Chains A and B, each alone.
Chain A
Amino acid sequence: MASLQETFAQRQNESAGKINNLYDKQAETQAAGLKADYDRNMSDVQAEADKIGPQFQDQANTLAGQFERQRRNANLSGMISGLGSGAGQQQQNAIRNQFVGQYGALRGQEAGAINDINQKKANLTTAYNNALVGARAETDAKRDQELIKNYDANRNWYETQAQNATNYGQFGNLQDIYGQAQANQMRNTWIAQNPDVAFRSGMISADDYKKLTGKDATAGYQSIYG
Chain B
Amino acid sequence: MAEEEKKNVAVAAPTAVMTAPEMKTQAADANQFRQAFDARKQGAQNNINSTLGSSLNTQKQGLTDTYNRNMTAQDQAMATGQQAFDFAKEDLGTQAARTQRGMDSYADVRGLNRQAGSQQALSLGLGRSTATGRLAQQQQMAAQESQRQKDLLRTDYQNQIAKAVAANDYKTAAALLDDFNNQNNWLDKNAAAMASFGNFIGYEQMYGPDQAAAMRQFWIGSNPELAYNTGVIDQERYKAITGRDAPDYVPLAPTGGGYDWWDPYAVGGVATNSSGGLTGGGSGGGNTTSH
Contact = CB atoms under 8 A, between A and B. Distances in A.
B40 interface: no
Contacts of B184: 11
A205 B148 contact: no
B195 A54 contact: no
A138 interface: no
Q: Dominant SS at the B interface? A: helix
B69 interface: no
A32 B163 contact: yes
Interface residues of A, number: 67
Nearest to A38: B159
A177 to B, nearest CB: 15
B155 A202 contact: no
B211 interface: yes
Interface residues of B, number: 70
A72 interface: yes
A61 B152 CA distance: 31
A221 interface: yes
Nearest to B192: A164
Interface stretch (A82-90, A120-128, A165-173): A165-173
B84 interface: no
A76 B126 contact: no
Interface of B: 3, 6-7, 10-11, 13-17, 115-116, 119, 122-123, 126, 130, 133-134, 137, 140-141, 144-145, 148, 151-152, 155-156, 159-160, 162-163, 165-167, 169-170, 172-174, 176-177, 180-181, 184, 188, 192, 195, 204-211, 214-215, 217-222, 224, 241-244
Interface of A: 1-4, 6-7, 11, 14-15, 18-19, 21-22, 24-26, 28-29, 31-33, 35-36, 39-40, 43, 46-47, 50-51, 54, 57-58, 61-62, 65, 68-69, 72-73, 76, 79, 157, 161, 164-165, 168-170, 172-173, 197, 199-206, 216-218, 220-221, 224-225
